[in-house]
């Protein structure tokens, strides 16, 4: 015969079973993977406001600054007076055929066209102005386009790539012209290939076209007065030109008036 269990013992057994069940449930929750805890993916935090690619954001457009346009007077001379082989051009522009003053500018050919280097340089030219058919002693500067293939002076080479002839005696002159001293006008010179053998030293006096047109037409240092026929700018500007000239670019000078 089975003896009945005491009521208190039954309560103890039931309480123990309930506690085991609860403990087992907690263990299953504690060891469950994060994915098992939620059926929704956790989205990462994002910055506030519209993001790149949003239709609310206008794309940033960077545009290059437009190059300064070439003045019409220079564009015409560069297009019609400079050979295709030349990558550098010195333009000497006078307002009229009788003018003894002018402006000098430097131009470099680039992939996008001609670009000016530096500012305009004030200068002088022949006492009697300009001529398209110069004759020896007429005191006029010849018009036209000529190569620049030699340089020199009484001072040492200031950094030009042109063949440079340094000679303190040949390039020294003592005197005056039109009341202005000529002592330092040949400190630096660039030979203009008018009636001379291109590529020869500046001191070479050969005149391939004969003595009629004359020769010795140079770009040299200004002394504040008109010249016998040469073109002049300040000493600092002559040095700038000398350092800019690059024989590999086959530089030319365009002498223009009117």
Is residue 127 a part of any domain in this protein? yes
Is residue 134 a part of any domain in this protein? yes
Q: Is 76 a residue whose pLDDT tops 60?
A: yes
| pLDDT tens-digit series, residues 38-73 | 444 444 555 555 555 555 555 555 555 455 689 999
Exposed/middle/buried for 144, CB within 10 Å: 0-12, 13-18, 19+? middle
CA distances (Å), 46 to each of 49, 50, 51, 59, in order?
9, 10, 10, 21
% residues pLDDT > 70 (the chain): 74
| pLDDT tens-digit series, residues 187-243 | 999 999 999 999 999 999 999 999 999 999 999 999 999 999 999 999 999 999 999
Is residue 16 a part of any domain in this protein? no
Give the residue numbers spanning the domain of 227. 83-257
Is residue 13 a part of any domain in this protein? no
The DSSP code for 27 is H
| Number of domains comprising the chain | 1
Is residue 31 a part of any domain in this protein? no
The DSSP code for 249 is G
Sign of CA dihedral 65, 66, 69, 75: positive
Is residue 207 a part of any domain in this protein? yes
Give the number of other CB atoms < 10 A from CB of residue 226. Answer: 22
Is residue 159 a part of any domain in this protein? yes
| pLDDT tens-digit series, residues 96-107 | 999 999 999 999
pLDDT score recorded for residue 56: 54
The length of the chain in residues reads: 258
| pLDDT tens-digit series, residues 132-159 | 999 999 999 999 999 999 999 999 999 9
Confidence bin at 34 (pLDDT 50/70/90): very low
Is residue 112 a part of any domain in this protein? yes
Confidence bin at 33 (pLDDT 50/70/90): very low
- Average pLDDT estimate for 92-117: 97
Confidence bin at 10 (pLDDT 50/70/90): very low
How high does pLDDT run on average in the chain? 84
pLDDT score recorded for residue 69: 84
CA distance 149 to 198: 6
């Amino acid at each position: 015969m089975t003896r009945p269990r005491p009521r208190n013992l039954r309560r103890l057994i039931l309480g123990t079973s309930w506690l085991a069940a609860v403990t087992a449930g907690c263990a299953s929750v504690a060891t469950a993977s994060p994915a098992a805890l939620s059926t929704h993916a956790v989205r990462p935090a994002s910055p506030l406001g519209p993001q790149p690619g949003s239709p609310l954001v206008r794309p940033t457009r960077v545009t290059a600054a437009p190059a300064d346009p070439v003045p019409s007077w220079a564009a015409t001379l560069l297009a019609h007076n400079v050979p295709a082989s030349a990558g550098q051009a010195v333009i000497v522009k006078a307002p009229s055929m009788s003018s003894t003053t002018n402006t000098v500018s430097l131009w470099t050919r680039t992939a996008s066209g001609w670009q000016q280097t530096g500012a305009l340089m004030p200068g002088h030219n022949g006492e009697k102005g300009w001529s398209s058919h110069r004759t020896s002693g007429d005191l006029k500067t010849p018009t036209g386009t000529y190569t620049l293939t030699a340089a020199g002076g009484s001072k040492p080479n200031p950094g030009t790539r042109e063949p440079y002839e340094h000679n303190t005696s040949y390039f020294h002159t003592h005197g005056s012209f039109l009341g202005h001293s000529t002592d330092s006008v040949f400190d630096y010179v660039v030979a203009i290939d008018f009636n001379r053998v291109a590529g020869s030293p500046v001191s070479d006096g050969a005149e391939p076209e004969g003595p009629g047109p004359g020769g010795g037409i140079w770009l040299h240092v200004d002394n504040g007065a008109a010249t016998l026929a040469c073109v002049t700018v300040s000493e600092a500007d002559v040095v700038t030109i000398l350092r800019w000239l690059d024989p590999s670019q086959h530089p030319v000078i365009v002498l223009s008036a009117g």
